A and B are shown apart, each in its own frame.
Chain A
Amino acid sequence: MEKILFGLDTFGDIPANENGELLSDAQALRQVVAEGVLADQLGVDIIALGEHHREDFAISSPEMVLAAMAMQTEKIKLSTGVTVLSSDDPVRVFQRFSTLDALSNGRAQVMLGRGSFTESFPLFGFNLNDYDVLFEEKLNLFSQLLTEKPVTWQGTTRAPLQNADVYPKTESGHLDTYVGVGGSPESIIRAARYGLPVMLAIIGGSPERFKPYMRLYEKATEQFQTPVHPVGMHSHGVIAPTDEEARELAWRSIRVSMDRIGRDRGWAPMTRERFENEIENGSYYVGSPTTVAKKIARTIKNLGVKRFDLVYSAGNQTVAEREQTIELYAKEVIPQVRAILAEAAND
């Protein structure tokens, strides 16, 4: 059986201390580095950091944080989730990540996306009306840069390139690149068109509803005659010794964070029933290690994904709570999921 990869994802939420006071952005960033080191020591395959430009999250430059981690870790893959390519410069993105790849001995990965927020557009002087064309053009340029050969390119969203060679080159000759996808079928097709692997952000509802998207991805690769890569996914979760503790913690972390984000978009706050339903049938991986392992194994089996990342730090959890999720995930959940899947494969 193909090896399943397990990751941990964070957006750099601000931790609270025992009195509920928030740490500074700087402390939050150093904490993320510490968590990356911990995850590496515990043998987690990947850590992926989001890029945001809003109060709730300290990470706006994930590759800087990853570079710090690179110096203190051995094996863990250093990834993003996602790098907002639309409001960035593809050449710079390539350079930053090929640099990270050098510093980490080939462990860099970049996950390109449009992001689920739009703050970066006004911040960097882009127009939201160009939302689609910005991503399309920049992904096109980025895919050419991935060849690591001189690039000639022309578009409407940045200056043209004439035989431009971009440095540093990677040692392997290939920068590991994913495309992060939300609910838009168009994005799946786009990733397939560029022959890039897909990571699904499944933040609510039954994960099984993404099954047709897996089929869409395969069909699209057939149509474009591009390689079929394994598909990954990420979802939110909290792990604690018991289901009750985990639910209580998730109610004051994941739920609070979702409500805060939803408020900006006019969504009603989450009801208890909805929250419980996300845990039972939906996209929150909340509970004891056994509960969470069973649920992850079920999702992996039903969807056929080959990579599962747990978004572990939502809301203002304490450092101890965050590290507890990381420890339990690495030491108990991952081995249990592997065991369940191996058993299923033998049946």
Chain B
Amino acid sequence: MTKQIGIIGAGKLGVVLAQIALQAGYQVQIAGSGSAEKIALTMTVLAPGARIMTSTEVLANNEVIILALPLSKFNQLDAASLAGKLVLDAMNYWWEVDGKRAEFNDPRVGTSELVQNYFKDSNVVKAFNHMGYHDLLDESMVINPTNPMRKAIAVAGDNGQAVAQARQIVTDFGFDALVLDDLNAGLKLQPGVNTFGANLPYEDLQTAILNYDETPFGQEIAKLKLQ
């Protein structure tokens, strides 16, 4: 059976994930905030083969969805249409885009947990968030098979089966998957933590995650975890 994935967001990250997914043999459906027409030129040149549609259609057609839109926009999507599906959350709090939002910077509750609360009948797994979009493209073994060093992407989720599926996708996309304990552990991958931006092989990423409390935001998280 051909694998299929839907991507919401056709910006810097969405385009790169579409390119990688296509190269990995997936069928790809992708949407931006508006009509298919708006992103048609970009997608046909940069990721030929991806099917372009509206976000409503992408959500309806796919069992696996990657969220690659601004974090402040996820609640514009219809949660019901994602019920029972795997949602890979690649979004980060970026204050310049999202505005200053205290709840996106809470050391107790990760942003992916907010996403899970909203898509309450879906399985949310945090994935593909910590590496910059051009690193993702440069490092993916399916894009760049001669890459001398395979890099790792951390995944975090609460549902074992969903995490296993996410892990497979990360592997298909040409990375090692590093599985964290649960969705809350996704906090250790957020902006402000030493892993954010990490473009590292498995062991080094593991070390970075073990030392997540090296930064001030990491320390805040660690303090709460110890209580």
Cross-chain contact of B42 among A186, A265, A274 (Cβ < 8 A): A186
CA distance A224 to B25 in the complex (A): 33
Contact indicator per residue, chain B 11-41, by CB within 8 Å of chain A (1) or not (0): 1100100000000000000000000000001
Do B191 and A265 touch (CB < 8 A)? yes
Listed from nearest, the 3 A-B pairs whose CB atoms lie closest are: A266-B191, A205-B134, A266-B192
Chain B residues, CB < 8 A from A281:
138
| Interface residue total, chain B, C-beta cutoff 8 A | 34
Known contacts A265-B94, A268-B193: does B45 contact A204 (CB below 8 Å)?
A: no
Given known contacts A266-B93, A268-B197, what 5 new A-B pairs fall within 8 Å (CB)?
A: A186-B11, A209-B137, A265-B191, A266-B190, A267-B197
> Which residues of A are at the interface with B, using a C-beta cutoff of 8 A?
117-118, 128-129, 131, 183-186, 189, 204-206, 209, 212-213, 215-216, 219-220, 223, 262, 265-269, 271, 274, 281
Cross-chain contact of A216 among B42, B194, B196 (Cβ < 8 A): B42
CA distance A271 to B208 in the complex (A): 11
CA distance A129 to B96 in the complex (A): 9
CA distance A252 to B42 in the complex (A): 38
Chain A residues, CB < 8 A from B134:
183, 204-206, 209
- A-facing residues in B173-199 (Cβ within 8 Å): 190-199
Cross-chain contact of B15 among A185, A189, A215, A220 (Cβ < 8 A): A185
CA distance A129 to B99 in the complex (A): 8
Do B198 and A183 touch (CB < 8 A)? no
Do B137 and A267 touch (CB < 8 A)? no
Min CB distance, B18 to chain A, in Å? 11
The contact sample of 25 A-B pairs, CB cut-off 8 A, is A185-B11, A185-B42, A185-B46, A186-B11, A186-B42, A189-B41, A204-B132, A205-B137, A206-B138, A209-B134, A209-B137, A209-B138, A212-B45, A212-B46, A216-B42, A219-B45, A262-B197, A266-B192, A266-B196, A267-B191, A267-B197, A268-B193, A268-B195, A269-B194, A271-B200
- A-facing residues in B195-220 (Cβ within 8 Å): 195-200, 208, 215, 217
Residue of B nearest to A203 (CB): B134
Min CB distance, B106 to chain A, in Å? 14
- A-facing residues in B67-93 (Cβ within 8 Å): 92-93
Min CB distance, B107 to chain A, in Å? 13
CA distance A209 to B97 in the complex (A): 24
Chain B residues, CB < 8 A from A274:
199
Min CB distance, A255 to chain B, in Å? 13
Do A216 and B199 touch (CB < 8 A)? no
Min CB distance, B195 to chain A, in Å? 6
Chain B residues, CB < 8 A from A209:
134, 137-138
Chain B residues, CB < 8 A from A265:
94, 96, 191
Do A184 and B12 touch (CB < 8 A)? yes
Do A268 and B42 touch (CB < 8 A)? no
Do A128 and B99 touch (CB < 8 A)? yes
Chain A residues, CB < 8 A from B94:
265
Residue of B nearest to A185 (CB): B42
Q: Does B103 contact A (CB under 8 A)?
A: no
Chain B residues, CB < 8 A from A129:
99
Residue of B nearest to A210 (CB): B134
CA distance A140 to B195 in the complex (A): 41
Residue of A nearest to B94 (CB): A265
Chain A residues, CB < 8 A from B217:
266
Do B99 and A205 touch (CB < 8 A)? no
Do A205 and B11 touch (CB < 8 A)? no
Min CB distance, A124 to chain B, in Å? 16
CA distance A186 to B43 in the complex (A): 11
Chain A residues, CB < 8 A from B118:
none
CA distance A216 to B99 in the complex (A): 31
Chain B residues, CB < 8 A from A219:
41, 44-45
Min CB distance, A301 to chain B, in Å? 19
Cross-chain contact of A268 among B44, B133, B137, B198 (Cβ < 8 A): B198
Max chain B C-beta neighbours (<10 A), residue from A131, A184, A265, A266: A266
CA distance A183 to B192 in the complex (A): 22
